[in-house]
Amino acid sequence: MSVYSEGVFQRGFGTFPLRGNELSVAVRNAIDIGYRAFDTAQWYGNENDLGAVLAEAGVPRDDLLITTKVHPENMSAERFLPSVEQSLRDLGLFAVDVLLLHWPPGDGPVEPSLELLQEACRLGYARHIGVSNYTTRMMRRALQVLDVPLVVNQVEFHPLLNQDKLLATSAETGIPLSSYCSIARGEIFKYPVLADIGERHGKSAAQVTLRWILQKGVTMNTMSTRRENMRANFDIMDFALTDEDMRQIDGLTVANYRISNADVVPFAPTWD
């Protein structure tokens, strides 16, 4: 059971690459629509913008689930805790709800950064801790290293990428998954079967994709600057895909497809 599984937190609002006024407008719209889980990162350079708009919006603190991530370059013993303290100042929070390691150190050892993450939790800087972009091998290793449970591995997850091994490892380790690039940054629209399935349910291809993610047992993050898209992405709890729908969507996997690969992110590990 993940903190993200609790009601509205299943549907998170991502903030990359929003900043400044664009972020404020988007987050205000998202709050108005009903989003209460917000995802940011040191890397996005927008923690202060997010903190400001959330403070001004006046949503009770306990109704929000705020996730941030430690930048890969802040994972040394000298930089880790000061960087988290800076995140808290920027966000205007005493503690973040979930603190993630944004990327593993390539194929290097995961133990040092996991121990620093756990230390941040023990110091009260985070209510929960998690990781992002961890491979199956790293998920198993984390279980051996940590005393505090990981509440999430946030990973690229959409129908074009087969994540069956990660799903199996999530079940085995009890580390829940959460999605990013949930509509593959629009690439899913090239597959008419999603719109065909949607037509039967009175929903769009994006809504079908997001529903598929939830029915896989994965919580989701989406980002949009458009109110109608934000609303559509949120409005996915009133229908269910059939087993046949799920099977057809499973069949959309594209060999070697991955948005967050080593060409884009120097910290990417060898995916297993």
Q: What single string gives the DSSP state of each residue in 42-86?
A: GGGT-HHHHHHHHHHHT--GGG-EEEEEE-GGG-STTTHHHHHHH
Nearer to ligand NAP, 222 or 248 (CB): 222
71 is in an annotated binding site: no
Binding site for ligand NAP (CB under 6 A): 14-16, 39, 102, 132-133, 154, 180-186, 206, 221-226, 229, 232-233, 260
Locate all alpha helices (DSSP H) within the chain, ordered by sequence.
20-33, 47-57, 80-91, 111-122, 136-145, 164-173, 192-201, 205-215, 227-234, 243-250
Shortest distance, position 95 Cβ to ligand NAP, whole Å: 20
Shortest distance, position 259 Cβ to ligand NAP, whole Å: 8
Shortest distance, position 14 Cβ to ligand NAP, whole Å: 2
Nearer to ligand NAP, 87 or 224 (CB): 224
Nearer to ligand NAP, 99 or 144 (CB): 99
125 is catalytic: no
Between the alpha carbon of residue 267 and those of residues 63, 74, 101, 104, 107, the distances in Å are 34, 13, 12, 7, 8
Contact at 8 Å (CB) between 42 and 68? yes
Per the residue annotation, which of 4, 35, 44, 125 is the catalytic one?
44
* Block residue for tokens 């949607």: 198
Which residues participate in catalysis according to the annotation? Answer: 44
Q: Which residues are annotated as a binding site for substrate?
A: 102
Q: Which residues are annotated as a binding site?
A: 102
